């Protein structure tokens, strides 16, 4: 078992059940999350019998770097190999306010959005919490700097790996863990309605983003097959429910695709759909994928779409893309060595 799968409370229980003092758990967590050691033998203030106990029960290494791609804008895409031979990708983005990482939650993805490279590989398995955490640990080691922002927007649907997601969020937010502030973490979902409602009751300060990408069922069903299970009316109802229960603003992700969802009429339809909701729209220039017959909206079209939302008092930004030249931008991760 990967030791990063343990919460702090679980590690305390393990240590004390094996007749070691409770404070040893804090020492172990310090070595794991602050020092980022790669072997138990590096935990020099532990007793030898405790080190032997850890070796007998846990693994510490989850990932191996296969290849690193560096973008002209400083973005780093890392291809990692898991212990079972599967591959995943993570993306490190450098901003003026700090380093941000986009982590993956599954090997492959069953959501199968028609514009996204990640869904080309069907889901093989969920990542456990430790494997998601390890992406941050390994990338910090690779970068030599702290990562202070996390977006759960890589390969896979986070709410389809719900229990591991929650444990991951708990560990990276824990003050004795990576101590990443909850409001510096964003989880994105394609719109699994029951999980959105369940998540509303968790009392987390973690940001929630919903991949909408269309203002009606006709367009959304072309882009996202999940819309057939959870049509747009149900997704918007789930957003209302989340806003009422969690009392936190929701980000709406909207990829702009030429001639499909970027017209002025579509923008006005989106305004009506979101009317009265405490949401923030993140317009994303489409990042082209060779297998998908979609093109990015023209610059003037994106700007016109943005202006319509602004004039109608919808909070909106047009995302600055990063990592496009190394296929590390939104929708381009695909878990393979190119």
**Residue positions annotated with a catalytic role:** 89, 330
Q: DSSP assignment of 270-316, as one string?
A: HHHHTTT--EEEEEEE----TTS---BPPHHHHHHHHHHHHHTT-EE
Specify whether the CB–CB gap between 3 and 29 falls below 8 A.
no
Specify whether the CB–CB gap between 127 and 146 falls below 8 A.
no
Q: Alpha-carbon distance 204 to 238, whole Å?
A: 17
Residue 136 dihedral angles phi and psi, to the nearest 5°: -70, -45
Q: DSSP assignment of 312-331, as one string?
A: TT-EEEEPPP-SGGGT-STT
Q: Please give the helix or strand (H or E) that residue 64 lies within, else none.
A: strand 63-70
Residue 293 tokens read as 């017959």
């Amino acid at each position: 078992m990967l030791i990063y799968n343990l919460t702090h409370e679980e590690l305390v229980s393990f240590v004390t059940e094996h007749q070691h003092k409770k404070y040893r758990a804090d020492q172990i967590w310090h070595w794991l999350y602050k020092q980022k050691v790669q072997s138990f033998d590096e935990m020099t203030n532990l007793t030898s019998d405790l080190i032997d106990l850890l070796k007998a029960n846990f693994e510490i290494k989850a990932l191996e770097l296969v290849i690193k791609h560096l973008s002209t804008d400083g973005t780093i895409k890392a291809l990692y190999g898991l212990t079972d031979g599967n591959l995943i990708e993570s993306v490190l983005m450098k901003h003026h306010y700090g380093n941000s990482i986009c982590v993956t939650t599954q090997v492959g993805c069953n959501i199968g959005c028609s514009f996204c490279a990640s869904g080309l590989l069907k889901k093989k398995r969920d990542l456990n919490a430790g494997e998601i955490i390890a992406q941050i640990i390994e990338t910090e080691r690779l970068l030599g700097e702290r990562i202070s922002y996390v977006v759960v927007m890589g390969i896979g649907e986070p709410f389809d790996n719900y229990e591991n997601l929650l444990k991951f969020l708990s560990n990276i937010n824990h003050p004795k863990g990576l101590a990443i502030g909850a409001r510096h973490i964003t989880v994105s979902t394609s719109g699994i309605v029951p999980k959105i409602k369940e998540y509303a009751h968790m009392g987390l300060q973690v940001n929630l983003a919903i991949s909408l990408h269309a203002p009606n069922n006709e367009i959304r069903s072309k882009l996202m097959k999940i819309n057939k299970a959870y049509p747009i009316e149900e997704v918007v109802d789930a957003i209302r429910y989340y806003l009422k229960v969690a009392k936190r603003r929701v980000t709406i992700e909207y990829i702009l695709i030429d001639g499909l969802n970027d017209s002025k009429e579509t923008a006005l339809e989106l305004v009506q759909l979101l009317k009265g909701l405490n949401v923030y729209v993140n317009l994303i220039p489409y990042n082209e994928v060779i297998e998908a017959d979609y093109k990015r909206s023209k610059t003037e079209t994106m700007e016109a779409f943005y202006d319509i939302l602004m004039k109608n008092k919808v909070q909106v930004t047009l995302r600055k893309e990063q990592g496009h030249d190394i296929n590390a931008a939104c929708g381009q991760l695909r878990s393979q060595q190119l």
